Amino acid sequence: MKYYVGIDLGGTNIVAGLVDENYNILGKVSRKTNRPRPAEAIAADMAACALDVIREKGLTPEQVEWIGIGTPGIANSATGIIEYSNNLDFHNVPMAKWISEATGRPAFVENDANAAAYGEFVAGAAKGAQNAVCITLGTGVGGGVIVDGKIYAGSNFAGAELGHTVLCIDGPQCTCGRKGCFEVYSSATGLIRMTKEAIEAHPDCLMAKMAEEQGKVSARTAFDCMRKGDAAAKEVVDFYIKALAAGITNMINIFQPDVLCIGGGVCNEGDALLLPVKALVAEEVYTRGSEKNTDVVIAKLGNDAGIIGAAFLGKAV
């Protein structure tokens, strides 16, 4: 049996998982990222998590093939350097070198969304595909593209920023500096913003009452109230689904993958989200007359996608 370690480096937590050759996660160890602090300190904790999870399962570092790291920002998979990460304030951090020196194992780095996409490709919703696109609906809209079994990163390792394609010129402001991005409309953050706007416009709606009872507006508010017959909530959900379907259709028209999978907390809505999205995509996709079209599915691995994808980065290079 061969073993690998995948590290999911986030703004809040560092999670290291020991993964076997059959894509099973055998154990996890986590620590707080505790940002902001020096990159060297974060790297030391990452290495410690990796060594801890290896030893907890009775293995030695020498029994692990390599360590893969999924990180926010621009990760140069050729040099092992995290060139830039705004969330972590990383600038040209030689992360693969540091982790390798601390653990004695080869190390690889990749953007976290790309690592998650690779996880779904090797072991999740896109398993068996040759070409795949994975979109994560979270705080933003993350993207990962697999072409002929390899992660597509572009010439500068910043490719597949799918959330920062524009759906509406001069639309709402995006954190990237543009306006009207896919991310502004289809992220969980965007759904919450649109829900709040609807509550302001319809203060007597069920969403307003639910938000007051729960003390907040969440990405579930509109869907929950839509199911209870709230007209204002239905408007929010219908627009959200229409925007999401438009963004997905754009990605299909560009990449024509075998599978496009969507993940993130919003996907917990299941068929209430997936079925109307698929119906709209089927109507709008350029190849709608083709015998073989992209299969739009919900991701399977959840938060484990990044760990599994990172663990197998040695096969993606």
> Are 288 and 212 within one domain?
yes
Calpha distance 182→163 (Å, rounded)? 5
pLDDT band at 288 (very low <50, low <70, confident <90, very high): confident
Tell me how crowded residue 62 is: count the other CB atoms within 10 A of its CB: 8
Pair 108, 141 in one domain: no
Residues 39 and 106 in one domain: yes
Q: How far apart are the first and last CA of the chain?
A: 21
| Cα 82 to Cα 8, 12, 111, distances in angstroms | 14, 18, 9
The answer on 7 and 88 residing in a single domain is yes
CA dist 6 and 169 (Å) reads: 39
Instruction: Write out the two tokens for 8.
Output: 């999911």
Backbone dihedral region for residue 157 (phi beyond 0: left; psi -120 to 50: alpha; all else: beta): left
Cis peptide before 36 (omega within 30 of 0): yes
* CATH code, domain with 43: 3.30.420.40
Cα–Cα distance measured from residue 163 to residue 185, given in angstroms and rounded to the nearest whole number: 9
Q: What is the pLDDT of residues 232-257, one digit of tens each?
A: 999 999 999 999 999 999 999 999 99
Model confidence at 38, pLDDT cuts 50, 70, 90, reads: very high
106-116 burial, b if ≥16 CB within 10 A, otherwise e? ebbbbbbbbbb
As a whole number, mean pLDDT of residues 310-317 equals 88
User: Could you give the percent of the chain with pLDDT greater than 70?
Assistant: 100
Q: Taking a C-beta distance cutoff of 8 angstroms, is the pair 5, 54 a contact?
A: yes
Count of structural domains within the chain: 2
Both tokens assigned to 26: 């055998």
Mean pLDDT (whole number) for 147-154: 93
Looking at the fold, whether 189 and 283 belong to one and the same domain comes out as yes
Q: What pLDDT, in 10s, does the model give residues 118-133?
A: 999 999 999 999 999 9
Q: What is the pLDDT of residue 12?
A: 87
- Please tell me the predicted confidence (pLDDT) of residue 139: 85
Same domain, 311 and 274: no
- Inform me whether the pLDDT recorded for 218 exceeds 90: yes
Q: List the domain range (segments joined by +) for residue 255.
A: 129-298
Both 266 and 146 in one domain: the answer is: yes
Arithmetic mean of pLDDT over the chain = 95
Q: Tens digit of pLDDT for each residue in 60-93?
A: 999 999 999 999 989 999 999 999 998 899 999 9
Evaluate if pTM is beyond 0.75: yes
How far, in Å, CA of 107 to CA of 310, rounded?
10
Alpha-carbon distances of 170 from 173, 202, 236, rounded to whole Å: 8, 25, 20
In this structure, are 163 and 106 located in the same domain? no
258 and 153 in a single domain? The answer is yes
Of the candidates 192, 188, 241, the one whose C-alpha atom is nearest the C-alpha of residue 214 is: 192
The Cβ of residue 70 has, within 10 Å, a number of other Cβ atoms equal to 31
**135 and 171 share a domain?**
yes
Q: Does 309 share its domain with 274?
A: no
Examine the pLDDT at 316 and tell me if it is beyond 80. Answer: no
Q: Are residues 112 and 150 in the same domain?
A: no
Contact predicate 198/235, CB 8 Å: yes
How many beta carbons lie within 10 A of that of residue 271, not counting itself? 9
pLDDT band of 317, cuts 50, 70, 90 = low
